[in-house]
Structure 1
Amino acid sequence: MDDNKDAVLEGVVFVGETLGPLFLNDPKTGDAGAAFQALAELDVDAAAAEWPFVDDEEAARDLGLMKEGLAKGAEDDDLVWEYRRLFIGPAPKPAPPWGSVYTDRECVVFGQTTLELRAWMREQGIERLVDDKTPEDHIGLMLVLMAWIAGNRPEALDEYLSLHLLTWSSHFLDQLAGAADQPFYEGLARLAQASLEGIQAQLALDVTYPRFYR
């Protein structure tokens, strides 16, 4: 594998490992406290210059939103309740984080695309890395899995991205950015979208987009 391919895979690992836990963890009670703290103290311009797959200006805008949203700390009520509103409930979520909600005609969790991803993982001999209750097509889980595949099974990365993640990620993340009332989650959605679209361009992946029902 040439040096450029190695660098791309390292960038994919970084994106997945950095962003995935931020979708999965409650800022106050989750396991990503160190990540939230690091973002609160971030040198935005320096970080933007190093962020892979996204141009400096866009990365700075998105990282700046995330830092702004952490100005009062990760335990700030506005941030915590926004996470719970967007990802937990009990009220209906404005942008549910599961792929099948958008690609299944019935807009259900554990829909056909969830089952297709589960079957693909089984065929590839890939086990769930974290969380044994959330449907496999949760955006946070899929970003963490993307990082693992890039680091451990790079030959499967293109197929995983083109068949299972990139098919719906931009549609969802665009909706999430619009639904977010707190700058941290708007910035997170926009940075994740720009990063995944940048990875798609870097790897020259041809993606067939499904019909979206939501």
Structure 2
Amino acid sequence: MLDAVAFAGDALAPFFLQDPLTGDAGASFEAMAALDPAAAAAEWPFAEEGEAREALGLMVAGLAGGAGDEGLAWEYRRLFVGPAPKPAPPWGSVYTDRECVVFGASTLELRAWMRGRGVARLGGGKEPEDHIGLMLALMAWLARNRPADLDEYLRGHLLTWAPHFLGELAGAARHPFYEGLARLTASTLEGIRAERGLKVAVPRFYR
């Protein structure tokens, strides 16, 4: 199970973190474009197979023009970069903080949790630690390196807000790739939650 959790986090994180044109996740986009959705869904961990098949189908269809397709890149920037207001911001505190701010209380709580366990932040840059891509990557790292901390991380930090965000993202996406990504990630995380028997206290959302 831990290997499957690590695979899911590693497979999904780059699509949230990397611009298709200028990022360094070209190999991930190429691998996704080459998938047979039905065959891949049968092997994809945790997600319900029918949902995984539909979501993967959307992602593969969205890559028909390749990762270099400008429409794909523009959608990534619209959703995750700006400068216009983002319809589904990828940071947890935007949803859980009363002021809907980046680097809010939940970000600081995650940072303190990581520091208390000697867990270094993953990746460079100045992104807050509660960016969905960084948190999926951290899920994979914990599954491989700190499995004893995985459930606490999922229950107290990632699963508190990610399902809400992913629902917002699926509704806001205007490109099949990112709608499929949101749906696949949501189904995968729900499967992980159920498989590990986690009870998550859902906070109040302000957005």
Asked if Structure 1 and Structure 2 have the same fold, meaning a TM-score greater than 0.5 normalized by the shorter chain, the answer is yes
Supply the distance in 2 between the matched residues of 1:131 and 1:193 (Cα, whole angstroms).
25
Partner residue in 2 for 1:99? 92
Supply the distance in 2 between the matched residues of 1:140 and 1:35 (Cα, whole angstroms).
14
Q: Deviations over 1:79-112 (max 9, x none)?
A: 0100000000000000000000000000000000
Of 171, 183, 194, which residue of structure 2 is paired with 1:190?
A: 183
- Which amino acid counterpart does residue 18 of structure 2 have in structure 1? N
User: Which runs of at least 4 in structure 1 moved beyond 4 Å after TM superposition?
Assistant: none
How large is the RMSD of aligned CA atoms in angstroms? 0.6
| Residue 36 (structure 2) pairs with residue 43 (structure 1) | yes
Counterparts of 1:4-153 in structure 2, within 5 Å, are 8-153=1-146
Where 2:103 maps in the other structure, the secondary structure is coil
Alignment identity in percent? 68
Supply the distance in 1 between the matched residues of 2:110 and 2:9 (Cα, whole angstroms).
17
Partner residue in 1 for 2:170? 177
Supply the distance in 1 between the matched residues of 2:97 and 2:48 (Cα, whole angstroms).
33
Structure 1 residue 41: deviation in Å?
Answer: 1.1
Determine if contact 2:48/2:191 at 8 Å carries over to the other structure: no
Supply the distance in 1 between the matched residues of 2:39 and 2:22 (Cα, whole angstroms).
29
Supply the distance in 1 between the matched residues of 2:14 and 2:139 (Cα, whole angstroms).
12
Structure 1 residue 55: deviation in Å?
Answer: 2.0
Q: Provide TM-score, normalisation by structure 1.
A: 0.96
- Which amino acid counterpart does residue 148 of structure 2 have in structure 1? E
Which residues of structure 1 form unaligned runs of 5+? 1-7
Supply the distance in 2 between the matched residues of 1:102 and 1:48 (Cα, whole angstroms).
30
Which residues of structure 2 form unaligned runs of 5+? none
Tell me the number of residue pairs that the alignment of Structure 1 and Structure 2 aligns. Answer: 207
